[in-house]
Structure 1
Amino acid sequence: MQPNIGITEENRSAVANELNKILADEFVLYTKTKNAHWNIEGPDFHTIHIFFESQFEQLDDIVDSVAERIRSLGHYTPATLQLFLQLTHLTEASRSNNSSTALIRELLADHESIIIHLRENINRFANEYHDAGTSDFITGLMETHEKMAWFLRSHLK
């Protein structure tokens, strides 16, 4: 049964397609953060290992909430690594080195890229697709990524 929530199927479909891309970005960033947690090396290993753990736990919650938003609009989520890699605008980990500085810089760049992408869609979801709920939802995601980026950026000073 299709949701009857005051948004046309065409608009729900368009929003779900954009959310699928956001979900892919979030999942790729989650994976890269998990990779950083597992592979960090250096004198600050323990501190940064724990820091990355807190970040990937936040991202795990984000991944779940984006998937649930897609489902609440009456659509299915992509759920394979292959689909995520096709949909994301991020790249897989570069593996330049496993120092905290290198890993933090790469993760920070991804957070900032996601922030820009989310910001570009806030008004689009509300005005073009008449979906204030998803607009509000991604505003919250953007704010979460801004805080996570701030935490990462603070390690680089």
Structure 2
Amino acid sequence: MSKTKTKPDKSKTTPAASPAPGSSAPAIDIGISGGDRKKIAEGLAAFLSDAFTLYLKTHNFHWNVTGPMFNALHVMFETQYTEQWTALDDVAERIRALGFNAPGSYQEFIRLSSIPEEPGLSDAADWREMVRQLVVGNEAVCRTARKVLKGADDAGDDPTVDLMTQRLQTHEKYAWMLRSLLQ
């Protein structure tokens, strides 16, 4: 048995990324360029803003729906906003994994969202208008998800592609279910 130490083959190892300025943590090196990570994170921030706006609107309608469809819609809206709340965390954490801060203030969400701010409906608002707004909101979230998905796919960011695919499936289903109430 030889006591000679063998040196590792450095051609098969990836050199350690250099630390970020002012930090002892290594730079992010996940196989996606910094520019692509930034574009994806910006897209995810827009998606998060749309999704948060829709979440808030869904929760508002859960609280304020009235009329003959009260029970069915109250339960449906609760199911949807509960699922949406969990998904918001997944999206924000993906932005962080890419090395960027997630938006977290109402001002940021309003600025980044494609869904217009619509103050609470009047007491006389019909449940149909609530459902219509949620159909439109879910479809807006889908359009934003598709943009993010394309950029993530082009960059080889499979986790973001997977996340956006899951969100598309959910929001397309919500739009269909809600639209069915109006047909």
TM-score (norm 1): 0.91
**1:113 alignment partner in structure 2:** 140
1:148 alignment partner, one of 152, 156, 174: 174
Of the three residues 120, 129, 134, the one matched with 2:160 is: 134
Report % sequence identity: 37
Q: Please identify runs of 4+ aligned residues in structure 1 that moved more than 3 A.
A: none
Indicate if the aligned counterparts of 1:19 and 1:70 stay in contact, CA closer than 8 A.
yes
Q: Give runs of aligned pairs for residues 51-130 of structure 1, distance below 5 A.
A: 51-93=76-118, 95=121, 98-127=125-154, 129-130=155-156
Partner of residue 8, structure 1 = 33
Distance in 1 (alpha carbons) for counterparts of 2:150 and 2:55:
26
Q: Partners of 1:98 and 1:52 in 2: how far apart?
A: 16
Q: For 1:58 and 1:93, locate their aligned partners in 2 and report how far apart those are by CA, in whole Å.
A: 22
Structure with higher Rg: it is 2
Deviation, 1:50, is 1.2
| 8 Å contact kept, 2:96–2:102 | yes
Q: Once the 2 structures are TM-superposed, how far is the Cα of residue 11 of structure 1 from its aligned partner?
A: 1.1
The runs of 5 or more residues in structure 1 that have no matched partner are none
The structure carrying a bigger helix percent of its residues is: 1
Is this contact kept in 1: 2:103–2:109, CA < 8 A? yes
Amino acid in the other structure paired with 1:26: A
Q: For the residues of structure 2 that align with 1:31 and 1:123, how far apart are their CA atoms?
A: 26
Contact 2:40–2:151 at 8 Å: present in 1 too?
no
Displacement after TM superposition at 1:79 (Å)? 0.5
In 1: Cα distance, 2:42 partner to 2:145 partner: 14
1:89 Cα deviation from its structure 2 partner:
0.7
Amino acid at match of 1:118: A
Confirm or deny: 8 A CA contact 1:11 1:130 kept in the other structure. no
Q: 1 or 2 for the larger relative contact order (CA 8 Å, sep ≥6)?
A: 1
Query: Residues 49 and 113 of structure 2 are in contact (CA less than 8 Å); yes or no, is this contact kept in structure 1?
Result: yes
* TM-score with structure 2 setting the length: 0.79
Aligned counterparts of 2:100 and 2:150: Cα–Cα separation in 1: 21
Unpaired runs of 5+ in structure 2? 1-24
Counterpart check, 1:50 vs 2:75: yes
Q: Is the 8 A contact 1:3 1:74 kept in 2?
A: yes
